[in-house]
Structure 1
Amino acid sequence: MSFMKSAALAAVLGLTATASVAQEVTLRFQHFVSPNSANPKYFIEPWAKKVEADSNGRIKVQVVPFMQLGGKAPEQYDYVADGVIDGGWVIPGYQPGRFPEAEAMEMPFMTTKNAEEASIAAWEFTQKHLADDFADVHLIAAHMHGPGIVHKRAEEIKTVEDFDGLKLRGPSRAATMLLNKLGATPIGMPVPAFPEALSKGVVDGGVITWEMAPSLKLDDLADSHTDVAGDKAFYNLFFIWAMNKDVYEGLPDDLRAVIDANSGAATSAWAGRAHDLGDRDGRAVMEAAGNTLATISVEETARIQALGDEVVADWIEEANKAGLDGQLLIDDARALVAKSAGTARPLE
C-alpha cells in the first residue's frame, strides 16, 4: 500500500472513529468540467445525492469540479489510485498506451449514437476485458458519451474532400487516426483551450459532442455542426467513475453495500443517459442560435466509414504487436454494442 493510499484510508478510518456509532464518512470526488456540464448535472451530482440518501446521511459525497483538488485531467486516474482524492471521473485515453484495450470501444463507428445503451456495452466490455487494467481502483461505472460532431467555422462538411487540410481539434487517439485518414490535421489540446483556438483561427474547428458545445460557446464561435448519417457514432470516448480501492474497502460493510448498490451496469447506463440528455440540450442551443445543423449523406458517410475500417485494421495490427488479441477485442466490443442496442429508455 502506498503512503498516499495509507493516508487516505487513515482519513476515512479517522472520520468513522470520531463519529463512532454513526460512522459518518465524507468522500471527495473530483471531475474536470463545469458543474453545469451534462455528466455532472445529470449523473455525478444526482449520484452523490442518492448515495447520501441511501446511506441515511452517513455518507457525505463532496463533488469538486474543474480539478480544484489538484492535478490535471490526465492525472486523474493516479489521483484516485494513490488516494489523493477518494474518487473521480476519468478518461483513460488521456494516458495513451496505458489502457490500450479500452480503445476498442472508441473506434470509429463502433458505438451507436445512444450513449445510454453504448454505456451498458462499455460496462460489460470492462468486466470482460479491463478488470486487470483498473485493478488498483474500485470501479463504480464505465460509460461512453454521445456521438462526436464536427463543429467548425464557415459551411458544413458535405464530402470526404471537405476534410482535406482542415485543422481540427482531436479528442482521442482513435479520432485522431480517423482525422488523419480523412486528410485533416488533428490538433491536440484540452477542451478549455478549444474556444480561444477557434476564435483566433488556430484551428478551423473540432470534433466534440453536442452537450459540450454550449459551455464552449460554439453557438457563437462556430457556424456549422455536422454529424454522419446512420445510427453509429463518428467517434466516442470511454470513461470510468472510480473510487480509491483502500477507501472503499475501509468502509463499514453496510456503507460499502450502499456504494455497491449504486455501481454496475445500471449506474453505467445512468452515466451514459446523462450525455444523451446533454446532447439534446446542446443541440437545441445550436439550433436556436441559427447555426447550420447538417448530416453528411449516406453515400459520403459510407466513404468515411470505409476509412474508419482502415483505422480499425491498423489498430488491430498495433494491438497484436503489443501482445493483445486485437480482433477479439473489436469483435467483443461490436457484439456487446449490438446486444445493448434498443435498450435505452426514451428521454423525458
Structure 2
Amino acid sequence: MKLNHLVAALIASAATLWATGAALAQDYRFKLHHFLGANSPTQTETLEPWARAVEENSGGKVKIEIYPAMTLGGRPPELINQVRDGVVDLVWTANGYTPGLFPRTEVIELPFVYLNDPGAANLALHEMFETDLKPDFPGVEVMFLHVHAGHAIVMRDAEIRSPADFAGRKMRIPTRTGAWVLEALGAVPVAMPVPDLPQAMSKGVVEGALIPFEIVPALKLQEQAGQYVELADRTRLGTLSFQMSMNKARWDSLPPEIQQAFRDASGPDWLAELGRIWRGTEDGGIAMAEAAGRSHVTLTDEETAAFRTVLEPVVERWIADVSARGIDGTALVDRARDLIAKHGTE
C-alpha cells in the first residue's frame, strides 16, 4: 500500500514538474489580428516569419497566434481600436484605413516622396519614428512600420498613359492621400478595403485601382483587370503604410527580455529584408497577370514627368493640411526624401 502511495506521489510530482516546465517554455501568448487571407503573401511571407522570429528570440516563451481575414470580428478600419482597447494583443493594419489618424506617417505615402523602393522607405520610417512620428501612435507600442511596393495603376480595361486618361474614372483607393492623387488626376476616388476590390471591379463600382501588383494572386485580380501600369523606373503614385503594433498596457506588462525578443525581430535588418520580400511578391503578382494574357505597361520618362507635374500640388496640399494641425509638413517631406535617398544607396 505504501509503495502504491509512493508511486502515485512520484507520478503527481512528475506531472506537476512537466506542467510547470511547459508553462515556463511558453509563458506569453499573443493574438495577432489582420485583414488579409491566411494564404496571402502578407501572412505567409511577412507575419508568419516575424512571429516565428519573436518566438525563437524568446527561447520558446512567446507564442503568437495569427488570426487572418478579420476572423476575430469587425471590419479592417476597426483594427487600430481593437488593439488600443485590448480586444486583441497585436494588429497588422493599414494606417490609411483610418484617414487622418496618422497624419505625420502619411508623409511616406506621398507621390514622388515615395518612389519605388520599399526597403528604403521602411528604413526611413524606422529612423523617423522616435523624432518625428511617435505622436501618431498613442495607446499602442509600435513594433515596426513599413510600406508596400507602391500604388501601381490597375484597370479593368482602360489604357492609361497620361494624367488626362484618368478623367472621370472611378478608382479604388484606401487612403486620403491616395484620394488626393486621384482628384489631382481628375478621377473619382472610391474608398474601400482591399478585400472588397474584386467584387467592386466586377460589378463596375470602380473601373480600376491604385494598388501594388503583389495583391494580384491573393485577390485573383487577373480575372477582373486587364491593364497593369507603372511609371518609369518602377515609380509609383505614392504608397500605403502599415503598422505592426501591440496594446500599450500589454507591452508595459512584459519583462525586459520578452520586450527585447520583439525588438530584435523588428529592427533595421528585418525592415530591409521586408522591402526585398515585398518587392519579390510584386514580381510574382505581375508575372501572374502576364501569364493570364494581361497587359503590363511601363511608361516612358516623358510620360512620367507629366505625372510629376500634375501631382506635386498633392504634396503641397498635404503640407498645408498638416501644418494647420501644428505639424511641420515641409520638414517632414524634406526629411523623408533625404532618408529615402540615403537608404536607397546603401
Fold in common (TM above 0.5): yes
User: What residue in structure 2 maps to residue 58 of structure 1?
Assistant: 61
Aligned to 2:191: 188
What is the rounded CA distance, in whole Å, between the counterparts of 2:25 and 2:265 in structure 1?
Answer: 21
Are the equivalent residues in 2 in contact too, given 1:122–1:238 (CA < 8 A)? no
Asked if the contact 1:147–1:236 (Cα under 8 Å) also holds between the matched residues in 2, the reply is: yes
Equivalent of residue 29 in structure 1, options 13, 20, 32 = 32
Matched, 1:173 2:151: no
Instruction: Tell me by how many angstroms 1:21 deviates.
Output: 4.5
Alignment gaps of 5+ in structure 1: 1-15, 344-348
- Return the offset for 1:19: 6.5
Match of 2:136 among 133, 136, 153: 133
Q: Distance in 1 between matches of 2:52 and 2:66?
A: 10
Q: What's the counterpart of residue 123 of structure 1?
A: 126
Q: Tell me if the contact between 1:122 and 1:144 (Cα under 8 Å) persists in the aligned partners.
A: no
1:163 aligns with one of 142, 166, 178: 166
Three-state SS of the structure 1 residue aligned to 2:333 is helix
Match for residue 13 of structure 2? none
Match of 1:300 among 303, 315, 324: 303
TM-score normalised according to structure 1 size: 0.89
Question: What SS class does the counterpart of residue 152 from structure 2 fall into?
Answer: strand
Per the TM alignment, residue 234 of structure 1 is displaced from its structure 2 partner at its CA by 1.3
Q: What's the counterpart of residue 228 of structure 1?
A: 231
CA distance in 1, matches of 2:257, 2:311: 47
Q: Among 69, 72, 79, which residue is 2:72 paired with? A: 69
Residue range with higher mean Cα deviation, 333-342 or 248-257: 248-257
Q: Separation in 2 of the partners of 1:272 and 1:247? A: 28
Q: Tell me which residue corresponds to 2:321.
A: 318
Aligned identity (percent) is 37
Cα distance in 2 for residues equivalent to 1:264 and 1:135 = 21
Q: CA deviation at 1:278?
A: 1.4
- What corresponds to 1:85 in structure 2? 88
Contact 1:148 1:235 (C-alpha < 8 Å) held by counterparts: yes
Deviation digits for residues 285-316 of structure 1 (CA, Å, limit 9, x no counterpart): 01111110001222121111112111111111
Instruction: Note if contact 1:316-1:327 (Cα within 8 Å) is conserved in structure 2.
Output: yes
Q: Among residues 277, 289, 294, which one is paired with 2:292 in the alignment?
A: 289
Deviation at 1:136, TM superposition (A): 2.0
On the 8 A contact 1:86/1:247 being kept in 2, the answer is yes
Aligned to 2:16: none
Aligned residues of 2:37 and 2:68 also touching (Cα < 8 A): yes
Bigger shift: residues 141-150 or 269-278: 269-278
Pick the structure with more helix per residue: 2
CA contact (8 A) 2:147 2:239 kept: yes
Match among 322, 329, 332 for residue 329 of structure 1: 332
Aligned-pair CA distance for 1:106:
0.8
**Partners of 2:163 and 2:310 within 8 A in 1:** no
Question: Aligned residue for 1:8?
Answer: none
**Could you tell me how far apart the structure 1 residues matched to 2:314 and 2:265 are?**
36
Counterpart secondary structure, 1:131: helix
Q: What secondary structure is seen at the aligned counterpart in 1 of 2:214?
A: coil
